Amino acid sequence: MSCGYLWFEEIPLPAVDFISEHLREDCESFVFKDEDVLILTYPKSGTNWLIEILCLICSKGDPKWIQSVIYLIRNPRDVLVSGYLYWSTSNFIKKPESLE
Ligand SMILES: Nc1ncnc2c1ncn2[C@@H]1O[C@H](COP(=O)(O)O)[C@@H](OP(=O)(O)O)[C@H]1O
Ligand SMILES: CCc1ccc(OS(=O)(=O)O)cc1
C-alpha cells in the first residue's frame, strides 16, 4: 500500500516529482495573509469546481465571506475512479497499476 504514492500526513497522494519532506517544508514556511483563502481538497474531489465557486463569491465584493467554511465532500469511490482514469493518461504523475 505504501508504494507508488506520495505520502503526506498519512494521506496517500498521487506520486509526482517531489518528495514529502519538501511538501512539509513548504507548508511550514508558508506565510498566510489575512485575506488569503485556503482550499484543502483531495485531488479529483472537485477542486476546480470549488475554485470557481470561491471566485464567484469573492467577486461579489463582500470580504466577510472568507470567514466561512465550505465543506466539499465527494464519494471516495468516485474520487478513486476519477483519479485512476486521469492519472493513467497524465505524464506528470506515476501511472496507477490498477484500481486495487
Ligand atoms: N459540480 C460538480 N459535481 C460533481 N462533480 C464535479 C463537479 N465539478 C467537477 N466535478 C468532478 O470533479 C472531478 C475533478 O476534480 P478536481 O477538480 O479536484 O481535479 C471530475 O470528476 P470526473 O473525473 O469523475 O469527471 C469532475 O467531473
Ligand atoms: C501533491 C499531490 C498532487 C496533487 C494534485 C495533483 O494534481 S491533479 O489533481 O492530479 O491534477 C497532482 C498531485
Whole-number average pLDDT of the chain: 84
Check: complex ipTM more than 0.85: yes
Question: Does residue 43 have its Cβ closer than 6 Å to ligand 1?
Answer: yes
Question: Does residue 82 have its Cβ closer than 6 Å to ligand 1?
Answer: yes
pLDDT for the residue 1: 43
Beta carbons of 88 and 9 less than 8 angstroms apart: no
Reported as a single tens digit per residue, the pLDDT across 52-84 is 888 888 877 665 665 677 788 899 999 999 999
Distance 51 CA to ligand 1 centre (A): 12
Which residue's alpha carbon is at the smallest distance from atom 19 of ligand 1? 44
Mutate to test the pocket of ligand 2, among 13, 19, 26 (most ligand atoms within 8 A of CB): 13
What is the average per-residue pLDDT within 12-30? 86
